[in-house]
């Protein structure tokens, strides 16, 4: 307890440059993530590429799954620094390629490179946080990174609309690398400070890796075995990305056999990428990965329906409907701040957070009935944001806490992959239901009900990250 009380603030002098650099880069990544959806219709029209519209989104997803696998192994084997900078360079290079594209094919290639870079960077950042910051600071650090999404969520779509309308869509992509340059300088400076004071910083857990090759399996036979296993896993990663893409296309086009095929592919391939026991929520790391997928998948899928119900069902303007999402983003930040304030019972935090998400989805679903005031849905979505703020960073802390040193990168990669794939499945299935029923009130009720059950399953399973027999045991 004493070490917790004396842990320095996130922006203390020792961590200031590194913290500023991380937050600034995450804000830019968040802005770009939110801006793409706003700018894409104009991009497709200007480049005469409506036929590749869906691929422009999916290219980033496919690349991200593969890069997340590579980044996890790379960070575990050699330390997080090289994959971190490689990912940042790839993300910026993809934006530049997309922003200068003269046809849709080149734009898609830029989106693919952007996804590769983002996947590498996100996993390496988890490992970097684990090796630079002491464990008692992890809740505050992840709370800070969650809060970095708030400002882009509030102003990102509006700024994107202004830029696209008055400056040109290309600057949505070209502007971010320019703004990322000073952020990268802060990040580099913060890491350089730690390199110079590595011996003095050993007490706070600094171990960035030296890229010397002393990594997984120094013996040739062990190295060959590890490489072969990773190659197989990477192939399964491509299969998972393909299944997710089939589900997205099948849902959007109304081709149910395509959606079912994609779901079958994921059912076979996904267990090969995630920790053993994830799909049955086995105790330890598998439960953490499953909880992230269930909670985030339910929330993000419901978030697709909230503005749709408000605009098509209740007659609100897009700006008015966006206020609900804004409220959710603000309360997400509040929840992150609460969980990062001081040590609390993580089981209680997760149970509370996931229960709030399930409640929020039910309240949002009530908006399909004209007799229910819209305010109920607005307040409900604020409750959901609060639940995500409590849940999301807590699971980020737990994946590092429960992972052995040599598996932190791989397990962080599993956390990201699980979140992405669970979200794709939830969005695709509910999207197909609402499309097949012509977005009727009954279909919305069914969709919100299924997503509430999904979040409820997370609430019921929220304590399974703990093992009843021995601390640090990974699974049953």
Structural domain of residue 473, as residue ranges? 277-476
Pair (165, 281) in one structural domain: no
Predicted confidence (pLDDT) at residue 206 exceeds the cutoff of 60: no
Pair (292, 392) in one structural domain: yes
Q: Is residue 382 part of a domain?
A: yes
pLDDT for 199 equals 45
Q: Are the C-beta atoms of 19 and 10 separated by less than 8 Å?
A: yes
Predicted confidence (pLDDT) at residue 325 exceeds the cutoff of 80: no
Q: Is residue 308 part of a domain?
A: yes
The burial class, CB within 10 Å (0-12 / 13-18 / 19+), for 165 is exposed
Pair (194, 282) in one structural domain: no
Q: How many Cα atoms within 13 Å fall on the side-chain side of residue 224? A: 3
CATH code of the domain covering residue 403? 1.20.1250.20
pLDDT for 8 equals 66
Q: Is residue 253 part of a domain?
A: no
Q: Are the C-beta atoms of 345 and 149 separated by less than 8 Å?
A: no
At residue 196 the predicted structure's pLDDT band, cuts being 50, 70 and 90, is low
The two tokens of residue 406 are: 């040599």
pLDDT for 388 equals 94
Residues 68-124 have pLDDT tens digits of 888 888 888 888 889 999 999 999 999 999 999 999 889 989 988 998 998 899 889
Pair (38, 123) in one structural domain: yes
Q: Are the C-beta atoms of 56 and 108 separated by less than 8 Å?
A: yes
pLDDT for 37 equals 66
Q: CA-to-CA distance for 457 and 260, rounded, in angstroms?
A: 23
Pair (182, 312) in one structural domain: no
Pair (23, 164) in one structural domain: yes
Residue after which a domain boundary falls, among 170, 189, 209: 209
Q: What is the residue-wise DSSP string for 94-158?
A: HHHHHHT-SSHHHHHHHHHHHHHHHHHHHHHHHHHHHHHS-GGGHHHHHHHHHHTTHHHHHHHHH
Q: Is residue 251 part of a domain?
A: no
Q: Is residue 102 part of a domain?
A: yes
Q: Is residue 241 part of a domain?
A: no
At residue 5 the predicted structure's pLDDT band, cuts being 50, 70 and 90, is very low
Residue located via tokens 């701040």: 337
Residue after which a domain boundary falls, among 209, 231, 266: 209
Q: Determine what percent of the chain is predicted with pLDDT higher than 70.
A: 86
The two tokens of residue 222 are: 């062990």
Pair (296, 400) in one structural domain: yes
pTM: 0.78
Q: Please, what is the average pLDDT of the chain? A: 82
For the chain, how many structural domains are there in total?
2
**Best mean pLDDT range from 47-51, 326-330, 457-461:** 457-461
Residue after which a domain boundary falls, among 156, 182, 209: 209
pLDDT for 259 equals 86
What single-letter DSSP state applies at residue 440?
-
Q: Is residue 150 part of a domain?
A: yes
**Helix (H, G, I), strand (E, B), or coil: what is residue 176?**
helix
The two tokens of residue 399 are: 């994946």
When mean pLDDT is compared across 347-356, 386-395, 424-433, 443-452, the lowest value belongs to: 424-433
For residue 219, give every residue at least 6 positions away whose Cβ sits within 8 Å of its Cβ, in sequence order, or none. none
Q: What share of the chain is helix, strand, coil (3-state, %, to 5)?
A: 80, 0, 20
Pair (94, 174) in one structural domain: yes
């Amino acid at each position: 307890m004493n070490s917790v009380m004396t842990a320095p603030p996130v922006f203390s002098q020792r961590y200031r440059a590194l913290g500023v650099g991380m937050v600034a880069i995450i804000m830019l990544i968040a802005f770009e993530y939110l801006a793409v959806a706003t700018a894409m219709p104009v991009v497709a029209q200007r480049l005469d590429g409506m036929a590749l519209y869906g691929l422009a989104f999916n290219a980033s997803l496919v690349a991200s799954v593969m890069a997340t696998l590579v980044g996890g192994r790379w960070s575990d084997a050699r330390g997080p620094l090289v994959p971190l900078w490689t990912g940042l360079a790839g993300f910026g290079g993809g934006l530049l390629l997309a922003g200068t594209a003269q046809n849709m094919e080149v734009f898609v290639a830029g989106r693919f490179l952007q996804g590769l870079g983002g996947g590498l960077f996100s996993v390496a950042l988890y490992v970097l946080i684990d090796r630079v910051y002491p464990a008692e600071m992890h809740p505050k650090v992840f709370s800070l990174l969650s809060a970095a999404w708030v400002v882009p969520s509030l102003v990102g779509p509006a700024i994107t609309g202004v830029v696209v309308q008055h400056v040109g869509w290309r600057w949505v992509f070209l502007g971010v690398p320019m703004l990322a340059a000073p952020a990268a300088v802060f990040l580099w400076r913060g890491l350089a400070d730690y390199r110079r004071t590595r011996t003095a910083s050993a007490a706070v857990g600094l171990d960035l890796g030296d890229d010397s090759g002393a990594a997984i399996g120094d013996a040739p036979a062990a190295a060959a075995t590890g490489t072969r296993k990773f190659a197989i896993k990477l192939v399964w990663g491509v299969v998972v990305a393909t299944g997710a893409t089939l589900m997205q296309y099948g849902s959007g086009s109304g081709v149910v056999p395509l959606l079912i095929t994609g779901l079958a592919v994921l059912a076979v391939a996904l267990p090969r990428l995630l920790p053993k026991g994830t799909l049955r929520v086995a105790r330890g790391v598998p439960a953490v990965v499953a909880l992230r997928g269930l909670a985030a998948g339910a929330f993000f899928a419901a978030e697709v329906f909230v503005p749709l119900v408000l605009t098509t069902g209740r007659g609100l303007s897009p700006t008015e409907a966006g206020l609900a999402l804004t409220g959710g983003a603000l309360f997400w930040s509040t929840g992150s701040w609460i969980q990062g304030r001081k040590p609390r019972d993580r089981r209680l935090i997760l149970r509370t957070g996931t229960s709030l998400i399930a409640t929020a989805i039910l309240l949002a679903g009530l908006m399909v009935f004209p007799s229910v005031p819209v305010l109920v849905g607005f307040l409900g979505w604020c409750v959901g944001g609060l639940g995500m703020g409590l849940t999301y960073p807590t699971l980020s802390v737990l994946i590092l806490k429960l992972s052995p040193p040599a598996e932190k990168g791989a397990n962080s990669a599993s956390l990201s992959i699980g979140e992405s794939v669970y979200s794709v499945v939830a969005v695709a299935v509910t999207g197909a239901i609402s499309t097949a029923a012509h977005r009727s009130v009954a279909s919305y009720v069914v969709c919100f009900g299924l997503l509430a059950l999904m979040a409820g399953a997370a609430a019921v399973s929220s304590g399974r990250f703990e093992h009843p027999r021995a601390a640090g045991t990974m699974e049953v």
